[in-house]
Structure 1
């Protein structure tokens, strides 16, 4: 049998395997099993996957929750758009909305304290990429993504959208301060 010419008999699966074919199938199967068990191993022991919760929500409900948190914990405003800076207490539910083309509001968290960060998008799929850390989540409209966050270093962190969301995608930035 040749790879170029069609087989003389159409029932090719009834032909015996060539030795080299069998070796490559065995190598492929073993490699697939190694990769499968490595994925399970790294998910459990690698500490690289976020444990998130996801709930269905509506834009109106999430906006109301976010606005309530902003009204309660705003400490100042920044930028020419007067974006509120929210400083919630430890253990609080903090909210961020992704919409064309910003992350709202700006958060001010404290180092070593745990918060529940709620994320959603109001319009299109957006990416929540917290730089320079390795937190990366796809934020989908109609769903509320909840992550437990405990900042372990102080500084200013940028929130970048890494899912193309339209003509202003390159301007879709947000900020999180950690004191």
Structure 2
């Protein structure tokens, strides 16, 4: 067995169609490079909400108080809370549930406070493709205005343990 070095003329400059494809790939890379900052600032996919520091215990207390104060019914043993139009709504993520169920009105604007009591969770509102990371210690506030009526499902899309598959919440919009 022996080690051979490549022949001195092993590399050949691209020619013909190879040059065309390399040129197209380079142009596409430059376009994508320019689009990243453009979509970051103009694409409206980034949250424009506010974020505050809060302890998990404080946020849990706020969510419990909100649920008790605004309770209108129950859904599978979980309180259904209806905030006043223009008011604050609280949504707490904890192993392995969303608390409480929210009841909102179409066309009304709400400030939705989202936080976690224990672990990192993912807030995914279905069938609308709305996704946020929910972290303990942060009160993330989103200003939302429901535009469709119906039943919307909240799914945790960040693995949070053995009961992750059952972490489903609801938002009802009338």
Instruction: Map 1:121-160; keep pairs closer than 5 Å.
Output: 121-160=116-155
Per the alignment, residue 56 of structure 1 pairs with 53
Per the alignment, residue 70 of structure 2 pairs with 73
* Alignment CA distance shift 1:37-1:105 (3 Å): same
- Between the aligned partners of 1:120 and 1:5, the Cα distance in structure 2 is 61
1:56: how far off? Answer: 1.6
Normalised to the residue count of structure 1, the TM-score between the two structures is 0.80
* Alignment CA distance shift 1:53-1:25 (3 Å): farther
**Cα RMSD over matched residues?**
2.7
Structure 1 residue runs without a partner (length 5+): 7-17
Per the alignment, residue 13 of structure 1 pairs with none
1:34: how far off? Answer: 2.3
3-state DSSP class of the match of 1:124?
coil
* Alignment CA distance shift 1:58-1:5 (3 Å): farther
1:29: how far off? Answer: 6.7
Contact 2:57 2:117 in 1 (8 A): no
Per the alignment, residue 160 of structure 2 pairs with 165
Paired residues, number = 165
Deviates more, 1:92-101 or 1:48-57: 48-57
Structure 2 residue runs without a partner (length 5+): 7-11
Normalised to the residue count of structure 2, the TM-score between the two structures is 0.82
- Between the aligned partners of 1:89 and 1:5, the Cα distance in structure 2 is 77
1:106: how far off? Answer: 0.2
Moved over 3 A (4+): 23-33
